[in-house]
Chain A
Amino acid sequence: MIEAYLIHILILICIYIVLAVSLDLTVGFAGMLNMGHVAFFGIGAYTSALLTLGGTPFLPALIAGAIMAGIAGFVLSLPTTKLKGDYLAVATLGFAFIIESVLKNWVSLTRGPLGLPGIPRPEFFGITVSSQLGYLIFSAVVMAICVFLIVRVEKSPFGRMLEATRDDEVAASTLGKDVYKTKAIALTVSAFFAGIAGSLYAHYISFIDPTTFSLLEVILLFSIIIVGGLGSSKGAIVGAIILLILPEPLRFLGFPSSIVGPARQILYALILLLILYFRPKGIFGRVELGES
């Protein structure tokens, strides 16, 4: 029982590491206040879930979820790459609202608030990942691949160009860098990986509904990357581990569940405030939020 609980937390940590590291590519590296990450998470989850429920094998569904999220990221980049700071935050937040609303109201496709039950566990090359432990291994492998790829991009000359765009867009463009294209790619790639996380989540929990991808998730994701430190994938990983484990003891204090939920949110907010007050660059961070 305890073992299953621990494995459950570890699987969620793997999924949130993918989400946080990919979000940091836009927020920490490209300097874009991207509040729409949860929408890509949702698009990946719904695409992958709907496809497998319709009979598509798992792996193509996972990839389709990532591609759909990537396309959504690219579409969002078209009107928003010229926006800066708070304006971009509001625009991307609006996008998250729209996606949540579509998931709620496109009942013929998504079943709306009823959600999608019975999403099958992954099955590929003749193996069905049905046990908890199996799913942990599977999600750890996917997480490792995603983190490896994202870190590779961040440490490349393209990553340096992202950082230049973050620090000073005008200077980067006078050096001949196409900053709008760079930011569009960052948002697309970041969304692509959020889509993978969405698929991992849907096939693990086996039930998704629009509330899973609500704006409360945005706050959690931002807490993770701010606590860990912007512009550092190590920070995003450590932040995900800390913020997913920290509220867990609340379960064992014997509070009624009506209090545990809000207490979690209070705890996130408290951690966020403390870190911004005492260590604004986070644990491993190099850059401050909204510095430039």
Chain B
Amino acid sequence: MNTKQPDTILEFNNVSKHFGGVKAVRNCSFYVKKGQITGLIGPNGAGKTTAFNLITGLLKTNSGNIIFMNEDITDKPTHYIANKGLARTFQKVRLFDNLTIEENLLLAKHHPGENFFKSFFFTRKPSKSLLKKVKQVVNLVGLTKPLSTLTSELSYGQKRLVELARALMMDYKLLMLDEPTAGVNPFIRKRLKVLLRKLRSQGKTILLIEHDMDFVMSLSDEVIVLDAGKKLMADKPGKVRKNKKVLEAYLGK
């Protein structure tokens, strides 16, 4: 299980990352298969978020390589990797707080007026088709606030939804979610589950960090367990649940 296959979209090959003396990721390898939901779990400090930051280019690796859609993206600039089709959300929500919900979402699409020399000829007003897409995504995640609301005025749960909606606006090939259920109420959590299943049925690939075991086990096609910067195991959720090593990693011997 969890080796390189023809339908692998993301390869994390023998990657290491240390911060001074702390080895956050140690010679770790895992593979994400196209068209399925892969869960990434592990106790606190296992290196899950560090792995996300390495994949998205926010951190530079010390060794190993990362292949996304058959291209080596190791240590490439973050915006380059994003433009290749990698969308992500963050453990702690990151929004553009002085902008509206609509503008936050529009930023996920590239606009010709973002080129400085062409900027004189464009206003920020979105085209009809783009606005339609914004409304569609907002409905999809179940956000009910008016689009003109500044995101700084939203509650934490709603901010999470805006961040997710913003990621969904991108033309992504792989969606990476870092603890999407943290801090959101059970109703939204349920909704989120339905949404992720729907995305999978549309052929989207999702990599998910999650601490809510019921959530991740019921959704994932495959679960990768990290512990102390290494892959402990990777298998179907049912097998991971029963694995002794996994229980030890979470609860101690």
Contact = CB atoms under 8 A, between A and B. Distances in A.
Query: Interface on chain B toward A: helix, strand, loop, or mixed SS?
Result: loop
A176 B77 contact: no
Interface string A164-191: 1011101111111111000001000100
Interface residues of B, number: 34
Contacts of B94: 168, 170-171
Nearest to A158: B119
Given A152-B120, A158-B119, A173 B78 contact: yes
A126 to B, nearest CB: 30
A153 B122 CA distance: 9
A3 to B, nearest CB: 38
A195 B98 CA distance: 30
Nearest to B93: A171
A286 B244 CA distance: 54
B95 A171 contact: yes
B103 interface: yes
Contact of B114 (A158, A166, A171): A158
A287 interface: yes
A175 B82 contact: yes
Contact of A286 (B58, B78, B82, B98): B98
Contacts of B115: 158
A153 B120 contact: yes
B116 A174 contact: no
Contacts of B124: 155-157, 159-160
B240 interface: no
A179 B96 CA distance: 14
Interface in A269-289: 286-287
A230 B111 CA distance: 25
A157 B96 contact: no
A155 B120 CA distance: 9
B106 interface: yes
Interface string B76-89: 01110011000110
B179 to A, nearest CB: 16
B239 interface: no
Nearest to B120: A152
B79 A164 contact: no
B116 A158 contact: yes
B90 interface: yes
A239 interface: no
Contact of A155 (B95, B106, B123, B170): B123
B120 A176 contact: no
B113 A149 contact: no
A268 to B, nearest CB: 27
A168 B159 CA distance: 14
B97 interface: yes
A172 B106 CA distance: 12
Interface string A113-154: 000000000000000000000000000000000000100110
A192 to B, nearest CB: 11
A24 interface: no
A165 to B, nearest CB: 9
Contact of A164 (B83, B90, B107, B112): B107
A157 B99 contact: no
Nearest to A179: B79
Given A160-B103, A173-B82, 13 more contacts: A153-B119, A153-B120, A155-B123, A156-B122, A157-B106, A157-B119, A160-B114, A163-B103, A164-B96, A168-B94, A170-B78, A177-B114, A189-B116
